[in-house]
């Protein structure tokens, strides 16, 4: 090999290493001694309102709903239950709650429609039940009030 080819390969290797280093996420420390004093004192963010559902975030992480029910707009579960009841899939249930009976009814509906039987109201399930997924997930207007 010539010196020019060797230098070119070395330059490309250096650029690749720099790009890889730039893409890496910073390593999280596991011991409190290694963290700055300010970071140790930070508390996770509490929900804005007590009725909010979700997993308390770790420092620097957004709040993530703990259940599909927490993702749904107010009243969407009632709309979902009404659609399942109208099809004879849902009997006794807790109105407005994504309870076990409602999840079982969703699963039965999904099986009858050859969908993945998860028991959760995903976009395709909502559409096939005649519900607007954007409305159910609060992206447009909202469901009926609780």
Domain region containing 86: 69-136
* Cβ within 8 Å of residue 49, ≥6 positions away: none
Contact (Cβ atoms closer than 8 angstroms) between residue 58 and residue 124: no
> Which whole-number Å values give the CA distances from 133 to 18, 52, 58, 98, 111, in the listed order?
44, 21, 30, 16, 19
CA geometry: angle 10, 26, 14, nearest 5 deg: 5
Helix (H, G, I), strand (E, B) or coil at 55: strand
Does some domain include residue 94?
Answer: yes
Does some domain include residue 115?
Answer: yes
Does some domain include residue 25?
Answer: no
Does some domain include residue 117?
Answer: yes
Question: pLDDT tens across 48-95, in order?
Answer: 555 555 555 556 555 555 556 567 888 888 999 999 999 999 988 888
- Looking at residue 95, its pLDDT comes to 83
Domain count, the chain: 1
> Does position 37 have pLDDT exceeding 90, yes or no?
no
- Looking at residue 47, its pLDDT comes to 55
Does some domain include residue 51?
Answer: no
């Amino acid at each position: 090999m010539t010196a020019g080819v060797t230098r070119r390969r070395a330059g490309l290797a250096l650029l690749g290493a720099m790009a890889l280093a730039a893409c890496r996420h910073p390593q999280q420390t596991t011991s409190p001694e290694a963290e700055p004093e300010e970071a140790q004192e930070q508390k996770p963010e509490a929900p804005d309102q007590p009725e909010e559902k979700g997993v308390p975030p770790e420092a620097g992480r957004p709040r993530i709903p703990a259940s599909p029910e927490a993702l749904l707009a107010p009243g969407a579960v009632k709309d979902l239950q009404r659609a399942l009841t109208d099809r004879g899939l849902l009997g006794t249930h807790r109105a407005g709650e994504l309870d076990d009976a409602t999840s079982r009814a969703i699963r039965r509906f999904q099986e009858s429609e050859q969908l993945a039987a998860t028991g959760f109201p995903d976009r395709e399930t909502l559409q096939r039940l005649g519900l607007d997924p954007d409305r159910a997930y609060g992206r447009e207007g909202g469901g009926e009030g609780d």
